[in-house]
Structure 1
Amino acid sequence: MQDADNTVIARTLSWVNHFIVAHDICPFARRELARDAVRVEVVRSKKIEVALEELMVEVHWLDEHPETETTLLVFPTLFKSFDHYLDFIELAESILVDQGYEGIYQLASFHPDYCFEDADADDAANYTNRSPYAMVHLLREESVEKAIDYYGDTAAIPDRNVALLNGMGTEAVEQCWQRSCRVDDQD
């Protein structure tokens, strides 16, 4: 049985709040959530071509709504395979370039089975990009640059995250991640 859209959104926001923000995986997320500037859109497509079209619909929506900082485009019915998801990300990045959006928006990728290249599947560091559903995070490039200017050396963030999660250990991180994706006893 598929999760209803409101459940998909609730699980996604729970994960953002109780994993990403709680562990400071992304030091910029807390502010945007507090400003209510994060949009979560559920895409029910079962075809990559339609998912790419929906991505561009969301890009155009963001163009018209500057008050929304960022969008999490969630695909609960597509991309069960992480490899197929990576193919989609490659196509999505190409379309952004082809449509003239290079330097305007960038993509961050998240998937339940996310695994960094050359990493073991059970490496705790993979959880920095593991999410309850396959999703694409659309970020405004200009805002990313401002955040980097404010924050300073953002290059240290991934190393800090890897050290934090590896220090917790895979089993503890998995349990924490699982709890963060539930909506029944949080929020």
Structure 2
Amino acid sequence: MQARQAQALRDMRHWLERAVIGLNLCPFAKAVHVKGQVHYAACDAAAPAEALEALGHEMDALLAEDPARRDTTLLVLTGGFADFLEFQHLEAMAQRLLRKRRLDGVLQIASFHPDFEFGDAAPDALSNFSNRAPWPTLHLLREDSVQRAVDAYPDAQAIYGANIATLERLGHEGWAALRVGRGDAPVDGEGA
């Protein structure tokens, strides 16, 4: 594996542990992480067709695995899609691929990007940070697992509001202090 891809996968694990789980931005993430059910895959594609091919491969691989072994996949895009608008276009194509494969209702695709912006938010709004990750990433989730998690969570609709409140309390300086950006993850064997 290329050094860039290895660093990207370390960065994404670090981000998941410190930001997503550490701040409880997704109350469902800790269980699959602790059980080792999160699969990380790196893709150095710079063109949408190559990225979609890799996504299709990861869809097949996820569905071929027992959910007890692999419940979710993060496809980390290391070769391109740094521009958020270009990434949004790729995400729209990924959603079409999901429907074309008749996997709507079986899998979901969520997205994360270093420059993620909600349509109604200012670029520096803290709410955007709930979907900001060190690398452009397409997240494959099993629909059944999402539904079980939502059913078990008392008020799943409140997660977004709770995330905004958490991020606003943390502030930009607090987010920066988490050190969950590109290249911030420690190399194995080093301290965090």
Tell me which interval the TM-score lies in, with the shorter structure as reference length. over 0.9
Q: How has the CA–CA distance of structure 1 residues 61 and 145 changed in structure 2, closer, same or farther, with 3 Å as cutoff?
A: same
Equivalent residue, structure 2, for 1:37: 37
Q: How far did residue 170 of structure 1 move?
A: 2.3
2:181 & 2:83 partners in 1: Cα distance?
23
User: Secondary structure of the equivalent of 2:61?
Assistant: helix
User: Secondary structure of the equivalent of 1:137?
Assistant: strand
Equivalent residue, structure 1, for 2:111: 109
Q: How far did residue 6 of structure 1 move?
A: 1.8
1:143 & 1:178 partners in 2: Cα distance?
26
Query: TM-score under structure 2 normalisation?
Result: 0.91
User: Secondary structure of the equivalent of 1:33?
Assistant: helix
Equivalent residue, structure 1, for 2:51: 51
> Where does the alignment leave 5 or more consecutive residues of structure 2 unmatched?
none
Q: How has the CA–CA distance of structure 1 residues 100 and 179 changed in structure 2, closer, same or farther, with 3 Å as cutoff?
A: closer
Q: How has the CA–CA distance of structure 1 residues 176 and 153 changed in structure 2, closer, same or farther, with 3 Å as cutoff?
A: same
Equivalent residue, structure 2, for 1:99: 101
Query: TM-score under structure 1 normalisation?
Result: 0.94
1:58 & 1:178 partners in 2: Cα distance?
25
Equivalent residue, structure 2, for 1:5: 5
Computed over aligned residues only, the root mean square deviation of the Cα atoms, in angstroms, reads 1.7
> Where does the alignment leave 5 or more consecutive residues of structure 1 unmatched?
none
C-alpha contact (below 8 Å) 1:38/1:70 kept by paired residues:
yes
Equivalent residue, structure 2, for 1:60: 60
Equivalent residue, structure 1, for 2:162: 160
Report how many aligned residue pairs link the two structures.
Answer: 186
- For residue 172 of structure 1, the aligned residue among 171, 174, 186 is 174
Percentage identity across paired residues of the two chains: 30
Q: Does 1:124 align with 2:126?
A: yes
C-alpha contact (below 8 Å) 1:110/1:136 kept by paired residues:
yes
